Amino acid sequence: MNAWGLTDKGVVRAQNQGAFYLFVNHEDNIAFLAVCDGMGGARAGDVASRLAIDTFVAEAERTLKPGMDAEALGRVLCGAAVLANEAVWIKAEAIEYAGMGTTLVGAAVSGALAAVINVGDSRAYRISPMGITRVTRDHSLVEDLVITGDLTAQEARSHPRKNLLTRALGTDPQVDCDVFSLEMGPGEFLLLCSDGLTNVVEDQEILYEVLHGGDPSGVCARLVKLACARGGPDNITVALAAL
């Protein structure tokens, strides 16, 4: 099991509000990944994303144990997300940080079992020679409209309110996480990313870069480069685990 990650401010933004974390224990066959993306336009989004990552990682590493099943892995990630939300919420009480928040997508892998959680519109994808599947569901206005049939997925990509989140870390005193359990096999990949990638790069292009673009260690750099070539309108953060 291996993991790689990269964050970039993109072409347009002056500041990078993205953050990621990777941990791989080859002896116990455990991997842990997380991506946060500070809320665009909100004050101190970089502070929110960094604080969320630090808090989330500290709690997850404290409670993550070898041999856990997918349900237990999910409980670990949700508990860590609750503490991360609380940390950002408390910090946001200060005037200079008022209104800040961040997305979060995190994954824990133990052997062939994985758990994924998300809050906001940063995503997780499962990738294999069989194709690419989005694991998570965006917590956003346009995603809700797609689900109700009022927008197509393609229309949602260019909708003027596509960045309006319905859930994020730090914007409310409590937070609900979506939890997903997976059973994965050798040759499969788990990719976490911010919307700075998915707003400008199609799922099939992500699939190609992961499986056919070159060495897996260069996937994150290739995806960032592709997003920047498309104008890089937002920060881009990518983390990839290979089983």
Count Cα neighbours of 88 within 13 Å in the Cβ-side half-sphere.
37
Query: Residue 10 pLDDT > 90, yes or no?
Result: yes
Tokens (6 digits) for 126: 């499962």
DSSP state of 97: G
Q: How far apart are CA 139 and CA 89, in angstroms?
A: 18
Q: What global pTM score does this model have?
A: 0.94
Q: Comparing 41 with 88, which gets the higher pLDDT?
A: 88
Count the Cβ atoms, other than its own, within 10 Å of residue 70. Answer: 20
Tell me, what's the pLDDT at 150? 65
**Token pair 């133990």 is at which residue?**
110
Tokens of 63: 């409670």
Q: Spell 202-234 as b/e; 16+ CB within 10 A means b.
A: ebebbbebbbebeebeebbebbbbbbbeeebbb
**Is pLDDT of 180 > 60?**
yes
Q: Are 120 and 169 in contact (CB under 8 A)?
A: yes
The model's pLDDT over 64-117, given as tens digits with 9 standing for 90+, comes to: 998 999 999 999 999 999 999 999 999 999 988 988 999 999 999 999 999 999
State the average pLDDT over residues 49-72.
94
Fold observed for domain 2-242: Phosphatase 2c; domain 1 (3.60.40)
What integer is the mean pLDDT of 161-170?
85
Domain coordinates of the chain in residue numbers?
2-242
Lowest mean pLDDT of 39-53, 68-82, 88-102, 199-213, name the range: 39-53
Q: Considering only 36-40, 159-163, 168-172, 224-228, which range has the smallest mean pLDDT? A: 159-163
Look up tokens 């809700």; give the residue: 144
Residue 54 pLDDT exceeds 70: yes
Pinpoint the alpha helices (H) of the chain: 45-63, 70-91, 141-147, 153-157, 195-198, 203-212, 219-229
pLDDT of residue 152: 73
